[in-house]
Every structure is written in C-alpha cells, then in structure tokens.
C-alpha cells in the first residue's frame, strides 16, 4: 500500500503572506514613482515580497533553471518534428552549451540542472547527476497503453518532490522550470484537455519545431485516443499521470507542489510545465499562487491551462523552442521588479504636512 497521499499538499501549502503584500503595496505608494507607472513590475515586486515574507523585497541572487527530461512512446506515431527517442541528444547538446537555454543561462549567469526521468538512451552516456532519478527508459505510448505503472508514477512524483527539497535546501530563490522531451507536448495536451473538459483539436498545437498538417492530424488523433483513456481516471491525479502523462510530467508535478510547500517561487515555461501545473492545481488549489507564467508559447494547450489557473504570461515573443528558454527570458524582468521595489527611494516628507489617515 502506498504511503503517498496527495491530499496532504492541500494542508501543507499556504498562500504567500497577504499582510506582507499589503505592507509592500503601502511602501510602493510612498516611492517617488507613482504606483502603477511601472505596469506589471509593480505587481511582480509586491508578489515577490509576499513570497519572501520580506519588505523590502530581497534581490534574486540564486536562480536556477531546472529541466525535467524524458522520451514519450507516443512520438513513434510521428507527432513530433524530432525522431522518437531523441530527447537524450537534446540533453547532451544543452550540457555541451549549444542549445538556446545554454546560451541564455551562460549570459545571465544562471546554472542549469537537468533531471532525467525517462530518457530513451543508455544512462552511462550522461553524467550521474543527470540520470540518478531515472524511473524507466521512455514512457509508454499513451494512445494505447499507460505511460507508467502506478509504482513508477509514484517514484517519479517522489523524485520531483526530492528535487524541490534539494533546490530549497541549496538556497535557490527562484526556479525557472522547463522540460526536455520528445512527445511531451502531446502528453501535455491530453492532460489539459482532460482537466478542462475540451476536445483534442482545442489543445493540439504544432510543438517546438512547427510540425506540418499531416503530423498535426496524427497528433490530434493521438490526443483524442489518449483522452478516452484519461477520462475514467480524472478523479485520481497520480493515476492520471500514470495513464496519460509520463515520468517527466509526474516528476514536474511533484516538483511544483513541493516547491509551493517550501515557498519557492517558480517561473513556468511552456505547455508541458503549464499542464503539470494544472494537475498540481487540482491537487492543491493554493499552489498556483507560487507560480508565474513566463511567456505565451503559442501552444493552445498552454493558453487553455493558464487561463484555467488565472495566470497571465509576462511575455509574448513567439519562442517555441522549449527547454526553459522562453521562461529564462522572463527572469531578468522578475529581477528588475525586485530591484525597483527594493531600491527606488521614497518621496521626501514635507515638514509640517499632516500624515494621511489610515
């Protein structure tokens, strides 16, 4: 019998401190630049204050990119522009510094952590710190079979929880969360369609490399078939992840929930992160208060999930490459909000001016 009870997260997760946020708003009103003139930067600064329980807000000094990696059996159907089982090659390219997220992280001085849950490659071909949480080699073909066994789903979920604890214990103050997968956007589409009660065509996008019309139709059919398998298990979120998710998605869901428990803010990347966040919201309704949507990737499933969670993307710049690159572009904006909230001086008090009544 499993000892994992997802309902526990409902009690463990608290909202960011509302009293601290009101103090941050009051401080913002005293600063020399009028409230509202910095647009969403005002709101971001106040949100960070509440998340940190600190006025003024502390600077973001230890951000980290965390990428969950896995291959999905559904990619065998030709639903992705990349060959099935090739996510390991992307991981190696990131580690070697040749992917967009590598370049951006290097430029911004942000370390990148990759967590392999289900890559379809020899584990000896990757560093130990990447593969030590692997649950299986590739996730199942979700249109005709479960992605994971119940035991594998729990192991993956617990791995995500462990990674969240490791990051919190290491002092990571903001996580940029993304995925490295082939077939992952198909699994994400199934989760979003199932949880939002929509048809496959509503959530089927063209992925990071813009698949052609025939591949889009194959992807739509795969999501439709997997959706039939998802609906009977909607009441059990871990079983849902086992049925139509994957090891990387189960781990990302556990990571998001435990990050909220540990009060670690998370910046979400694309549709895969959004789908996992939607599952996590079903588990603990307060959890989304700890997350930011980085950007609009153009994937309809992402837009549907973010709308359901009332998360508005910070940026809209057409980045579809995945791997956390779009979310990493939003990090300087969040850091700027923290700096402005903390460092803008307050208006001078005019001698003899009566104080405002509260």
> What is the structure's pLDDT at 187?
96
Residue 323 falls in the annotated catalytic set: yes
- Domains defined for the chain, CATH in brackets: 63-335 (3.40.50.10210)
Give the per-residue SS3 of the chain: CCCCCCCHHHHHCCCCCHHHHHHHHHHHHHECCCCCCCCHHHHHHHHHHHHHCCCCCCCCCCEEEEEEEEEEHHHHHCCCCCCCCCHHHHHHHHHCCCCHHHHHHHHHCCCEEEEEEECCCCHHHCCHHHHCCCCCCCECCCCCCCCCCHHHHHHHHHHHHHHHHHHHHCCCCEEEEEEEEECHHHHHHHHHHHHHCCCHHHHCCCCCCCCCHHHHHHHHHHHHHHHHHHHHHCCCHHHHHHHHCCHHHHHHHHHHHHHHHCCCCEEECCHHHHHHHHHHHHHCCCHHHHEEECECCCCHHHHHHHHHHCCCCCECCCCCCCCCHHHHHHHHHHHHHHHHHHHCCECCCCCCCCCCCC
pLDDT digits (tens, 9 = 90+) for 74-126: 999 988 888 899 999 999 999 999 999 999 999 999 999 999 999 999 999 99
> What is the structure's pLDDT at 1?
42
pLDDT digits (tens, 9 = 90+) for 8-44: 999 999 999 999 999 999 999 999 998 889 999 999 9
The residue from 323, 343, 353, 358 that is catalytic is 323
Average pLDDT, the chain: 93
> What is the structure's pLDDT at 97?
94
Q: Flag whether pLDDT at 244 surpasses 70.
A: yes
The confidence band for 321, taking pLDDT boundaries of 50, 70 and 90, is confident
Can you give the pTM of this predicted structure? 0.94
> What is the structure's pLDDT at 56?
93
pLDDT digits (tens, 9 = 90+) for 194-220: 999 999 989 988 766 677 888 889 999
pLDDT digits (tens, 9 = 90+) for 66-75: 999 999 999 9
């Amino acid at each position: 019998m499993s000892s994992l009870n997802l309902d526990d997260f409902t009690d463990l997760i608290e909202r960011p401190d509302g009293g601290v946020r009101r103090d941050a708003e009051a401080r913002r009103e005293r600063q020399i630049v009028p409230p509202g003139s910095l647009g969403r930067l005002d709101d971001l600064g106040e949100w960070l204050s509440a998340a940190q329980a600190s006025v003024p807000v502390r600077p973001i000094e230890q951000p980290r990119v965390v990428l969950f990696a896995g291959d999905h059996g559904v990619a065998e159907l030709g639903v992705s522009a990349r060959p099935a089982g090739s996510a390991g090659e992307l991981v190696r390219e990131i580690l070697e510094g040749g992917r967009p997220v590598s370049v951006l992280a290097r430029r911004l001085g942000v370390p990148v952590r990759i967590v392999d849950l289900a890559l379809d490659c020899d584990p000896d071909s990757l560093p130990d710190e990447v593969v030590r949480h692997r649950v299986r080699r590739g996730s199942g073909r979700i249109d005709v079979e479960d992605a994971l066994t119940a035991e594998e789903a729990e192991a993956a979920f617990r791995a995500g929880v462990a990674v969240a604890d490791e990051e919190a214990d290491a002092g990571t103050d903001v996580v940029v969360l993304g995925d490295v997968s082939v077939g992952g956007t198909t699994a994400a589409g199934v989760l979003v369609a199932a949880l939002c009660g929509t048809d496959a065509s509503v959530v089927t996008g063209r992925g990071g490399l813009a698949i052609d019309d025939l591949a889009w139709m194959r992807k739509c059919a795969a999501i439709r078939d997997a959706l039939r398998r998802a609906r009977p298990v909607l009441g059990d979120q871990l079983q849902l992840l086992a049925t139509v998710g994957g090891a990387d998605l189960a781990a990302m869901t556990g990571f998001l929930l435990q990050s909220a428990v540990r009060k670690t803010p998370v910046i979400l990347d694309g549709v895969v992160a959004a789908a996992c966040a939607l599952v996590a919201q079903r588990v603990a309704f307060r959890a989304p208060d700890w997350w930011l949507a980085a950007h609009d990737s153009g994937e309809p499933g992402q837009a549907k999930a973010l709308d359901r969670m009332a998360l508005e993307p910070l940026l809209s710049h057409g980045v579809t490459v995945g791997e956390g690159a779009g979310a990493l572009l939003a990090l300087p904006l969040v850091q700027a909000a923290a700096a402005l909230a903390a460092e803008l001086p307050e208006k001078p008090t005019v001698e003899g001016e009566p104080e405002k009544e509260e």
